[in-house]
């Protein structure tokens, strides 16, 4: 069963924890993790760690089949946001957890389920000022053997304390924890950090399409074939193909990446090909 992970050091996480325990029927049990109470609902555990979530490379000890992190998001723009992403470091830099040149195991189905529910909750809770989006794969943890997804509330302390924003994230967390639905899974390539083109298709419940990892444009120039292969290995659901944000890459980048993809016996598509069907 899935486990929901909250950090005692995460302000948005504490707001999300409050919504989960007050509104979703979780009950405290006579067990603790790192000295913190464990709560459960239908075998789904709500667990608090004392580590920052970016550095939680120790959670395989929970023997979960999916780790759902309820987290704060911080950005320079300070834009109110509801976000979904997996974790990993595409290059030599690992300043925000995990190891260099390593990505985590991801579930594309969890990513899609979370994004759809965040979009629903934005409307239902009238969170008109909030953006809803996928982010590209970034930051730690990366060393876990358990698939994971981050569902985030951003982007300033004002939003981290926002009860309706935390409730929206909580609904998405529960939806992911309870969902059994599996979607066709792809690897996304190109575009900016906030992956709006991929979000448009993944967030459409009528399109049987999701992504487990998104490689942003700003890392393609230094990307190795090994990291492309890792995307395939570290996706919970089988990979159907690779999908480009075509205008979100340049011709030099495509000439580099496409031979890698073909040498691994995979095909590639364009994200606009999926948009045309609807």
pLDDT digits (tens, 9 = 90+) for 37-55: 999 999 999 999 999 999 9
* pLDDT at residue 75 in the model: 87
Distance from C-alpha of 151 to C-alpha of 131, rounded to nearest angstrom: 13
Instruction: Give the pLDDT mean for 52-77.
Output: 96
Q: Is the pLDDT of residue 196 over 60?
A: yes
Tens of pLDDT, residues 119-137? 999 999 999 999 999 999 9
pLDDT at residue number 275: 78
Domain boundaries, the chain: 3-275
Element housing 5 (H / E):
strand 3-7
Give the pLDDT score at 278. 52
For 223-247, what is each residue's pLDDT tens digit? 999 999 999 999 999 999 999 999 9
Reported as a pLDDT band with limits 50, 70 and 90, residue 71 is very high
Spatial CA neighbour of 54 closest among 136, 142, 137: 142
Residue 276 scores a pLDDT above 70: no
Which residues face 225 on adjacent strands? Answer: none
Q: Is pLDDT of 222 > 70?
A: yes
Task: Please state the pTM of the whole predicted model.
Answer: 0.97
Task: Answer yes or no: CATH 3.40.50.620 is held by domain 3-275.
Answer: no
Structure tokens at 78: 């300070």
Cα distance between residue 166 and residue 220, in whole Å: 34
pLDDT digit string (tens) for 82-111?
Answer: 999 999 999 999 999 999 999 999 999 999
- Write the pLDDT tens digit of every residue in 165-180: 999 999 999 999 999 9
76 has pLDDT over 90: no
Sheet of strand 268-270, all strands in order from the earlier edge strand to the far edge:
210-215, 185-189, 239-244, 268-270
Q: Give residue 277's pLDDT.
A: 61
Average pLDDT across the chain, whole number: 96
């Amino acid at each position: 069963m899935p486990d929901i992970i909250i950090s005692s050091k995460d302000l948005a996480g504490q707001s999300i924890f409050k919504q989960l325990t007050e509104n979703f029927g979780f009950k405290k049990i006579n067990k603790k993790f790192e000295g913190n109470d464990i709560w459960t609902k239908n075998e789904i555990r709500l667990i608090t760690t004392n580590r920052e979530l970016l550095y939680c490379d120790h959670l395989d000890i929970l023997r979960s089949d999916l780790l759902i992190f309820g987290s704060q998001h911080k950005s320079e723009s300070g834009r109110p946001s509801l976000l979904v992403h997996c974790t990993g470091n595409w290059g030599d830099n690992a300043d925000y957890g995990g190891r260099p040149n390593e990505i985590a195991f991801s579930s594309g189905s969890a990513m899609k389920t979370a994004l759809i529910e965040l979009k629903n909750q934005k409307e239902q809770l009238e969170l008109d000022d909030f953006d809803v989006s996928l982010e590209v794969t970034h930051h730690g943890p990366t060393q876990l053997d358990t698939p994971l997804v981050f569902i985030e509330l951003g982007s300033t302390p004002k939003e981290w304390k926002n009860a309706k924003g935390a409730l929206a994230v909580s609904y998405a967390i529960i939806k992911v924890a309870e969902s059994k639905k599996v979607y066709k899974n792809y690897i996304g390539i190109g575009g900016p950090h906030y992956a709006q083109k991929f979000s448009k298709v993944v967030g459409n419940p009528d399109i049987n399409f999701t992504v487990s990892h998104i490689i942003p444009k700003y890392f393609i120039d230094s990307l190795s074939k090994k990291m492309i292969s890792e995307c395939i290995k570290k996706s919970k659901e089988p990979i159907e193909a690779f999908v480009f944000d075509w205008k979100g890459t340049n011709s030099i980048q495509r000439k580099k990446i496409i031979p890698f993809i073909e040498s691994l016996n995979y095909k590639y598509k364009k994200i606009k090909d999926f948009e045309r069907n609807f």
